[in-house]
Amino acid sequence: MASHRRPKQPSRARVTVLTTAAAAAVVLSAQAANAAPSEKPNKDEVKAKVDALYEQAEQATERYNGAKEKQEKLQKEISTIQDNVAREQEELNKLRDGLGSMASAQYRSGGIDPSVQLFLSADPDDYLDKASTLDQLSSQQVEALKKIQDKQRELAQERAEAAEKLKDLASTRTELGNKKKEVQGKLAEAQRLLNTLTAQEKAALAAKEARASRSAAARVELGLHLGSGRASAAFSAAQSQIGKPYVYGATGPSSFDCSGLTSWAYAQAGVSIPRTAQQQANIGTRISSMNDLQVGDLVFFFNDIHHVGLYAGNGQVLHAPRTGTVVRYESMSTIGGPFMFGVRV
C-alpha cells in the first residue's frame, strides 16, 4: 500500500545557510571575472628597480674588491714566509753539518764528546736548558748549539705564522666566492627585469642616458680648467678611457669598476692609491664642500662610501657608473646617492 506521507521540508536555518553560500559564490565569481590582470611595470618602474639592484651590486663589488685585495696580499706574505723558511732551513742544515764535522774531528782525535753525541741524537733545546752540561762543551760547540737553537725557534715561529695566514687565506677565499655570487645574483636579477622591456623601451632608456652623458660632457667643457700636478695627470688618464665598459672587479685597461678606474688613473700619474672606494676615502686631504673641489679630486657618494669618481669641474664627475654603462661624464646630482666629500691626493 502506497505511503501518503509528505517529504520532509528542509529547515529554515538550512535554507538560510545555502542561500548565503550561493550568494557568496556569485559575488566571488563576479569579483574574479572583473579583477584586472596584474599590470606589467612600465619602463620607468623597471629602470628604478634595476638601478636599485645595480647599486646593491656595486656595494657587493666593493666588498668583493676588498676580499680580493686581501687574498692577493696574503698570498704575497705567505710566499715571502715560505721563502724565509726554506732559507732558514738551509742555514740550520749548515749549522748541523758544522757541528757534525766538529764531532767527526773529535772522534778522529780520540772519541766524540758525550755532550755532542747527545746533541746529535736529540733536540738541543732541552739539552741546552741543563746548564750543568755546558761545562762539558768547548766555547765553539756552545756557540754552535745556541745558533742551532735560535734558528730552530725562528723556524717554528715562521711556520706557525705561515699556518695562521694559510687559514686566513682559506677564509678569505670563501668570502670572495660568496661576494662574487652576491654580485652575480644582483646582476642576473637586474637582467631579468630588463628582459621584460621591449626593444623600443630599451632604446628609449639608452637614448635618455646618452643625452644625459652628452649634456654632462658639454658642461665639463664649459667649466674645465685643468691645473698642474698629479691630479691633472690622473684626470687626463681617466679621460683617455671614456667609452670603456664597466665590469665589476676590473682595474683596466680594457674595463673598469668605479674604484678600479680611480686607482688606475692615479697609477698612470705615478701615484699608488688603495684599491677600494672606502680605502681611498681615508687618504689625502678631505674636502667637505663641493665648491672647494678641483679637477682630478676623488669624489665619494652614498653613506657607506661605495662609489667613487674623479671631479670633472662644474658639478660633473668622470666615473665608471655601473654594469651596462661605460666610463663617462655625469652630473653629480644624478648619481643616485648623496655626495659625501672629496679627497685631494
What are the catalytic residues?
258, 307, 319
Closest CA to 142 of 104, 99, 110, 107: 99
CB 317 within 8 A of CB 277: no
Angstrom CA distances, 305 to 97, 246, 285, 344, stand at 58, 18, 16, 16
Alpha helices by DSSP H, the chain: 12-34, 43-108, 114-121, 124-128, 139-194, 199-223, 230-239, 258-268, 277-280
Phi/psi of residue 37, nearest 5 degrees? -65, 150
Sheet hosting strand 298-301, strand order edge to edge:
285-287, 339-344, 298-301, 307-313, 316-319, 328-331
> How far apart, in Å, do the first and last CA atoms of the chain sit?
115
Angstrom CA distances, 149 to 79, 85, 132, 223, 261, stand at 24, 15, 17, 69, 51
From the number of C-beta atoms within 10 Å of its C-beta (0-12, 13-18, 19+), residue 247 rates as: middle
- Which run of H or of E encompasses 298? strand 298-301
CA atoms within 13 A on the CB side of 56: 16
Cα 189 to Cα 39: distance, rounded to the nearest angstrom: 19
